Amino acid sequence: MVIKNDIKLVIGAGEYNNNPGWIHTQEDELHLLKEKTWKIKFDHDSISAILAEHVWEHLTNEEGIEAAKICYKYLTSSGYIRCAVPDAFFPDEVYQNIVKIGGPGPKDHPAASHKIVYNHKTLSEIFETAGFKVVLLEYCDENGHFHYNEWDGKDGVIFRSKRYDPRNQGDKLVAPSLILDAIKP
């Protein structure tokens, strides 16, 4: 059965349900790299928004580009992917040890399957290669300075953000994400 209407989709939703009214999916039902799983549920140019919170770091660079290209096919014109990943430029040794490739601990730790740690340039490049226009929302620059551009949770809540994560409230960031919108022209 192909789903129609104003479709808003969460990829790799995990235990979070920060986006009521969105379709929440897991890898076993909608796989970023297996277009046949997309064709079963959606038509090309049918999804208005995709949210991927801490998903892309589990793909290689090449897989990230391929996943972006598949998403591009299914997004409507002006549709977007809101993507959040660990930030390679966040200047905190403890944080970087947790998010590093292969993760810090046992194989069942979520970071154990990290294949890349992006910075704002490398993640932007993934989506630009697939044809998207990129708008950075939250990120650290090469000098470790945090940048925040106003964004609306109605367009997709990223829990692990300056805006929503209680660990990041106040003067000191503890667990930020690199967050961008990749918009299909």
Mean pLDDT on 72-96: 97
For residues 96 and 87, what is the distance between their CA atoms, to the nearest angstrom?
Answer: 8
Mean pLDDT on 142-165: 95
Residue 1 pLDDT: 43
Within 10 A of 30 (CB to CB), how many other CB atoms are there? 20
DSSP letters, 74-138, are HEEEEEEEEEEE--TT---HHHHHHHSTT-SS-TTSGGGG------HHHHHHHHHHTT-EEEEEE
Contact 99, 86 (CB under 8 A): yes
Q: Where are the domains positioned within the chain? A: 7-88+117-183
- H or E, element range at 8: strand 7-11
Residue 3 pLDDT: 53
Q: What is the pTM of this model?
A: 0.94
- H or E, element range at 70: helix 61-74
CA torsion 122-163-58-41 (nearest 10°) is -110
The per-residue pLDDT for range 94-146, each reduced to its tens digit, is 999 999 998 887 777 778 899 999 999 999 999 999 999 999 999 999 999 99
Contact 139, 158 (CB under 8 A): no
Mean pLDDT on 155-183: 94
For residues 30 and 80, what is the distance between their CA atoms, to the nearest angstrom?
Answer: 18
CATH architecture of the domain with residue range 7-88+117-183: 3-Layer(aba) Sandwich (3.40)
The per-residue pLDDT for range 39-48, each reduced to its tens digit, is 999 999 999 9
